[in-house]
Structure 1
Amino acid sequence: MKISTSALLNELKERTSQHLEYAQTLTLKTEEELNFRNSQDSWSPLQCLEHLNRYGDFYIPEISRNIYSAGKSPQSYFKPGILGNYFAKSMLPKENLNKMKTLKIMNPIHSQLNKTVIEKFISQQKQLLTLLEKAQNIDLEKTKTSISISKLIKLKLGDTFRFVIYHNTRHIEQIQKILNS
């Protein structure tokens, strides 16, 4: 499967812009609403965002470092890698959302959080939009990034963007479900 690089980057920018806009609406909610949990072992909206912020703390500097060290050689098409495509697709929300285990360090359960979590998420989304713009000038296949679970495994930059942004989509939908319950 080949994807037009510009179409991929546009889709990812659109999703990221939607995440940014949604996060801005969350600033209007009370901290009580944002800390609501459906059960003892479920996350609150702020915990969902904190989880995403923790991933952003790893991936944004990792992506940035690799974009700035990449040569200028944009390609018209992007072909996902087998592992990267699997990771990215597994993050997309499905009808019956499959629960996934998260790394202990990325699990915000029982954290006491406030609205600064939203501000940080908004800042990270703006950084992602900047990185997506810069990515238009480089090869999304040849530029590789480490992943959060192992520095030894490298994904194509296009797959890393897809994974991070689809992961954000997954948890934004989770937040919407919590707030609508």
Structure 2
Amino acid sequence: MIGIPTDELLFRLRRITEDNMTFVSKKCRHLGENQLHWRRTKDSWNILEVLAHLNSLVNFYHPLILNKIKKTKFTTPSDTFVSSQLGRSAWKSIQLGRANNIKRKFRAQRTHNPTILPELVEKNTIEKFEKNQLELLNILDLAKHVNLKKAKVPISFSRIVRLRLGDVLQFVIYHNERHIQQIKNILENKNFPDKVVG
């Protein structure tokens, strides 16, 4: 499996995270309630539900990643990161296509699905997302000081499976990017309300 310079990988993930934050801050903060709650179909998620889904996954991944970085004995970074076959398969499956298209659709786990658990959507969902992304930037800074290949973290859909930290970071951040693209698609929909009502 071909590797990537660790610095380049972390820089790329940082840039995606910063772009996600900037987009939400510029394009979502000013929206009215009717726009934030608008959905393309009765079964599709609205903007707040997309962000609430991402926020709920933070509760799983961020503590695990921070704990692993803090407690790992593998504190000598490697110049190059090489994904495991399983890790690459995991993050590749959710990564956007070359045209920023969502290649495959997945059903969200019940515990992270805001249509099943509407309480995931909070009044401060947007602010919480921004705060979580700042924390993620801090995680990326801390990750520079450990071996991303040897430190391993479980994943949300299987506690038994442990992936390399570098693969988990890619999975989390490409998953975020995928759902920010989902919000972009909502905003670009021809039926999206262009005026704030109420």
CA separation of 1:50/1:96 partners in 2, compared to 1, >3 Å: closer, same or farther? closer
Paired letter, 1:97: K
Contact kept in structure 1, 2:102 and 2:178, CA below 8 Å:
no
Which residue of structure 2 aligns with residue 155 of structure 1?
163
Contact kept in structure 1, 2:93 and 2:104, CA below 8 Å:
no
Identity %: 35
* Residue aligned with 1:151, SS: strand
Paired letter, 2:112: M
Contact kept in structure 2, 1:31 and 1:115, CA below 8 Å:
no
Report the Cα offset of residue 114 of structure 1: 5.2
* Larger of the two Rg values belongs to structure: 2
* Residue aligned with 2:42, SS: coil
State the 4+ residue runs in structure 1 displaced beyond 4 angstroms: none
Report the Cα offset of residue 70 of structure 1: 1.8
Q: Report the TM-score, using the length of structure 1 for normalisation.
A: 0.95
Paired letter, 2:78: Q
Q: Which moved more, 1:29-38 or 1:152-161?
A: 29-38
Report the Cα offset of residue 97 of structure 1: 3.4
Which residue of structure 2 aligns with residue 47 of structure 1?
49
Which residue of structure 1 aligns with residue 178 of structure 2?
170
Q: Report the TM-score, using the length of structure 2 for normalisation.
A: 0.87
Structure 1 unaligned regions, length at least 5: none
Structure 2 unaligned regions, length at least 5: 190-198
Which residue of structure 1 aligns with residue 96 of structure 2?
93
Contact kept in structure 2, 1:37 and 1:43, CA below 8 Å:
yes
Report the Cα offset of residue 51 of structure 1: 0.8
Match of 1:38 among 26, 37, 40: 40
Match of 1:70 among 51, 60, 72: 72
Paired letter, 1:146: P
Report the Cα offset of residue 24 of structure 1: 1.2
Paired letter, 1:8: L
Paired letter, 2:142: K
Paired letter, 2:109: L
Paired letter, 2:103: L
Match of 2:82 among 76, 79, 82: 79
Paired letter, 1:150: S
CA separation of 1:48/1:73 partners in 2, compared to 1, >3 Å: closer, same or farther? same
What is the rounded CA distance, in whole Å, between the counterparts of 2:36 and 2:102 in structure 1?
Answer: 23
